[in-house]
Amino acid sequence: MQKTTLVSGVCPHDCPDTCAWQVTVDPASGRAIRIQGHPDHPVTQGRLCGKVDRYLERTYHPDRLTTPLKRVGAKGAGRFQTISWEQAFAEISARLHEIIARHGPEAIMPFSFAGTMGVLQGEGLAKPFFHRLGATRLARTICSEAGFEGFQYVTGSVMGPAPEDFAHARLILIWGNNVLSSNMHLWPFIQQARKQGAPVIVIDPARTRTARAADEWIPIRPGADGALALAMMHVIIAEDRVDRDFVRDHTTGFEQLAERVQDYTPAWAERITGIPAERIVWLARQYADARPAAIRINYGLQRHATGGMAVRNIATLPALVGHWRFRGGGVLLSASGAFHLDKSALKRTDLLGDRNPRTLNMIRLGDALSLEPARRARAHYAPRPIDRKPAPDDAGPPVMGLIVYNSNPAAVAPDQSAVRAGLAREDLLTIVLEHFQTDTADYADYLLPATTQLEHWDILKPYGHYYLALNRPAIAPVGQSLPNSEIFRRLARAMGFSDDIFRQDDISILQEFIAAQNHPVLAGVTWEHLLNDGFVRLNLPEPFLPFADGFSTPDGKCQLYSQRMADDGYDPLPAWRPPAWMQVEEESAARDVSIAVPASVDHQSLPLISPPAHNFLNTTFANMKRFRRREGQPLVWIHPDDAAPRGIADGDTVILENEKGRVQLMAHVIADITPGVLLAPTIWWAKLSPDGRNVNWLTVQDETDMGGGPTFYDIRVRLYKKA
Ligand SMILES: Nc1nc2c(c(=O)[nH]1)N[C@H]1C(S)=C(S)[C@@H](COP(=O)(O)OP(=O)(O)OC[C@H]3O[C@@H](n4cnc5c(=O)[nH]c(N)nc54)[C@H](O)[C@@H]3O)O[C@H]1N2
Ligand SMILES: Nc1nc2c(c(=O)[nH]1)N[C@H]1C(S)=C(S)[C@@H](COP(=O)(O)OP(=O)(O)OC[C@H]3O[C@@H](n4cnc5c(=O)[nH]c(N)nc54)[C@H](O)[C@@H]3O)O[C@H]1N2
Ligand code: SF4
Ligand SMILES: [Mo]
């Protein structure tokens, strides 16, 4: 009997854990027969999540796209005929040339996100292709921009304690992160800390499965985190729990901060957060005295209009109390800042020549696809107060060609009806690279089958730990599917582009990419090393104390007061800015905040948040029956106090409605949600939902205060029982 082979790889999904895996392949059939977490990876520790445990099932799923397809029915109907790759490339390149001739290359726009986070199958050949074309550039803001900006204004770089080092913390604050669902490989380290006596406190509007497993749940109103952080600073400074040496040596602007937070008392924060003042005092004391405390924030709390400032306020906390000095101390939003990967060989901005195409913001896809110049102007990327959107006359050509890969915008982008209206335009050429016929794929003129992580090469840079990893293909491509890299390579050649990058194969691109790295944190990271071990830790000191010896800011200090923020048009100090749903009148200069609700606000409406479902990864896996069954149906969590007056019982069909329209969901009446707040786990496929829409029908194209990010969790909706 022939022995099986074991191929090492890494999960491509948009998840902080970036697990290393091993795939068992039967050489006789060439089929993958088993997948498991890599036993030697210090974060994966031999375990994959419940979703990726079924990655083989997804790869060999009967619904996988296996041949290129061309639309035959109406836009959105999802009816296609099979064509050959040759025909697909010939027709697509002809149509792109036609668009360029009539409207210029900016009329072509990419749309992509993190279906795979691989450096190669992500943007590896896509960016060179679009740069060569001179296409519109895309600001990829849909996930983390507000938080990233807020964090880096304070520290200069976005990184934090390694997940392994959470084991050394004496207190853990899980602040807006459902660890057990979206970051499960952090949990074992949290448990280790707990065994040493560290309490685990979850700050979240919902009693999530993580909150249930923790020691304390502090319910908070959505978007109020910035106020809580300010009040904690107030207590820490008023009670002199400050690490004076750290503050003197490693921070800028303490005096201004101390003055600023004087009015932000726990009693003030109670009115905004819904957390009793004495509880805030207790939390601030626990936090200051822990030495160190580890804070884990994720992206949930920055999906509000003022999410950038919220993260900025939280990121200020550890410097005040000097927790960055200690192993496991500080705050982790993302680990990305530590990687210092030089991606210039993959981005190839040189292929732009002297062209400088516009940049459109992905979260305004509805506006971007509009034929109205005023709406297109709004879609321009202008992330800071000092940036200006152009006048309608300068918005540039309408988008006539859209190339979508690694994303499912018809389901994940805000303001779904606007996105659908754009995708339904008969004059728009839409090309979608996919594994499955998603909501977006239904609108494609050409639907091209892409390989999965089992079928192609890649390198993955994680954002939740410090191990770079190599993915080797375990099996041959399923059907006629091709890696994204190969699709862009062949399309480039069909377009007549003769640049070398479009001739180079995947392995040599990756080898050269690794060989070209020269930052000290990548010293010793070689192709051979990656081939042999599958993953390699960055060359960081052990233990890694991200900012113990200085911050990545121009003066090397933590910016309690940030001149750069002032220059960019922001308040240079931590401040309270209410989220949109609170409809609080702008804070006065005197910071005399009262929750003054304007007369126009509908008092019956409630804020709706829509965080990740446990069994899906965004919309990935949501087409598999197994996972849909586990999630039940598209639900909305309603507190009994909100359900009763509306006559809603558990299991009832309810309608959520706002100015964008209405969505039908099933009521899940439960005390695990803050009263007055609704929560709908996401992201369901719209076409697999009862009324053909998901909650993004209700979300808006508004941008966050920093980074031009989305405000998915910052809307109000009316709730009633379906008649
Ligand atoms: N199972 C699963 N895992 C995932 C994903 C998925 O869809 N499913 N998505 C992946 C992606 S794309 C990302 S970006 C990451 C991280 O994605 P995140 O969206 O950060 O995921 P969560 O960790 O679930 O964090 C959201 C938590 O924040 C809470 N929350 C919402 N608003 C607020 C608020 O204003 N304040 C506070 N304190 N809490 C709030 C929600 O109730 C929820 O428990 O997860 C990734 N992992
Ligand atoms: N209401 C609400 N909306 C949200 C969120 C929320 O919490 N609430 N979360 C937001 C966040 S954080 C994010 S990151 C976005 C996520 O938005 P997306 O990045 O669009 O995530 P997915 O829905 O998982 O879609 C990824 C698609 O890429 C495909 N794919 C995977 N690998 C490959 C590949 O190698 N090649 C090709 N061609 N395709 C591939 C998958 O099949 C899948 O259909 O959604 C956002 N939308
Ligand atoms: S989705 Fe996240 S937890 Fe699941 S296997 Fe991938 S990296 Fe690991
Ligand atoms: Mo995300």
Co-location of 354 and 490 in the same domain: yes
CB under 8 Å to 649, separation ≥6 — which residues?
Answer: 643, 667, 669
Q: Is 520 inside any structural domain?
A: no
- CB of 135 sitting under 6 A from ligand 2: no
- Residue 643 CA to ligand 4 center (angstroms) comes to 30
Q: For atom 14 of ligand 2, which residue has the closest CA?
A: 143
Same-domain status, 440 and 463: yes
Q: Is residue 542 part of a domain?
A: no
Let me know whether 153 and 296 are in one domain. yes
The ligand whose atoms approach the alpha carbon of 180 most closely is 1
Judge if the beta carbon of residue 699 lies within 6 A of ligand 2: yes
Average pLDDT of the chain?
96
Check which CATH number belongs to the domain holding 37 and give it.
2.20.25.90
Q: Are residues 374 and 479 in the same domain?
A: yes
Handedness of CA 67, 68, 74, 78 (dihedral sign): positive
Q: Which of 10, 11, 117 should be mutated for ligand 3, with most atoms under 8 A from CB? A: 11
CA distance 222 to 304: 8
pLDDT at 331: 98
Number of separate domains in the chain: 4
Domain membership flag for residue 323: yes
Output the pLDDT for position 379: 98
Would residue 632 count as lying in a domain?
Answer: yes
Note whether residue 386 is domain-resident. Answer: yes
Both 228 and 102 in a single domain? no
How far is it, in rounded angstroms, from Cα 78 to Cα 186?
A: 40
Our mutation pick for probing the ligand 2 site, out of 435, 436, 440, 656, counting the most ligand atoms within 8 A of Cβ, is 435
- Domain check: are 356 and 248 in the same one? no
Which residue's CA lies nearest to atom 46 of ligand 2?
412
Within-domain flag for 567: no
Q: Looking at 291, 312, 333, which one is the last position of a domain? A: 333
Cα–ligand 3 centroid distance for 468 (angstroms):
15
Report the CATH number at residue 318: 3.40.228.10
Q: Are residues 86 and 175 in the same domain?
A: no
Q: 154 and 246, same structural domain?
A: yes
Distance from residue 517's CA to the centre of ligand 3 (Å): 26
Which of 333, 357, 386 is where one domain is finished? 333
The set of residues, in sequence order, having a beta carbon less than 8 Å from that of 600 and lying 6+ positions away, is none
Q: Give the rounded distance of the alpha carbon of 238 from its chain centre.
A: 36
Q: Check pocket membership of 438 for ligand 2, CB cut-off 6 A.
A: yes
The residues pairing with 654 across neighbouring beta strands, listed in sequence order, are: 665, 721
- The pTM of this model reads 0.97
**Which ligand lies nearest the alpha carbon of 20?**
3
Provide the CATH number for the domain around residue 643.
Answer: 2.40.40.20
What contacts 24+ positions apart, CB below 8 Å, involve 340-345? Answer: 340/519, 340/521, 340/522, 341/119, 341/461, 341/517, 341/519, 341/522, 342/516, 342/517, 342/518, 342/519, 343/119, 343/513, 345/509, 345/512, 345/513, 345/516
Dist. CA 15 → ligand 4 center (Å): 8
| Atom of ligand 2 at shortest range from CA of 405 | 38
Probe residue for ligand 2, chosen from 113, 361, 615, 711 as the CB with the greatest number of ligand atoms within 8 Å: 113
Judge whether 506 lies within some domain: no
Strand partners, 6: 24
Residues 320 and 376 in one domain: no
Same domain assignment for residues 361 and 415: yes
Residues with C-beta atoms within 5 A of ion ligand 4: 143
Range of the domain at 660: 580-721
Rounded distance from Cα 303 to ligand 1 centre (Å) = 9
Check whether residue 351 and residue 491 sit in a common domain.
Answer: yes
Look at residue 604 in the predicted model and tell me its pLDDT: 80
Q: Give CB contacts under 8 A, 24+ apart, made by 601-605.
A: 601/716, 602/716, 602/718, 604/718, 604/719, 605/658, 605/716, 605/717, 605/718, 605/719
Which two three-digit tokens encode residue 562?
């940030």
- For ligand 2, whether the C-beta of 611 sits within 6 Å is yes
Question: Could you tell me the distance, in angstroms and rounded to a whole number, from the CA of residue 405 to the centre of ligand 2?
Answer: 10
**Do 168 and 312 fall within a single domain?**
yes
- Only one residue has tokens 């050269």, namely 512
- CATH number of the domain at 413, please: 3.40.50.740
Number of the ligand 1 atom closest to the C-alpha atom of 613: 8
The ligand minimizing its distance to the Cα of 615 is 1
Which residue ranges of the chain lie beneath pLDDT 50?
Answer: 584-601
Does some domain include residue 650? yes
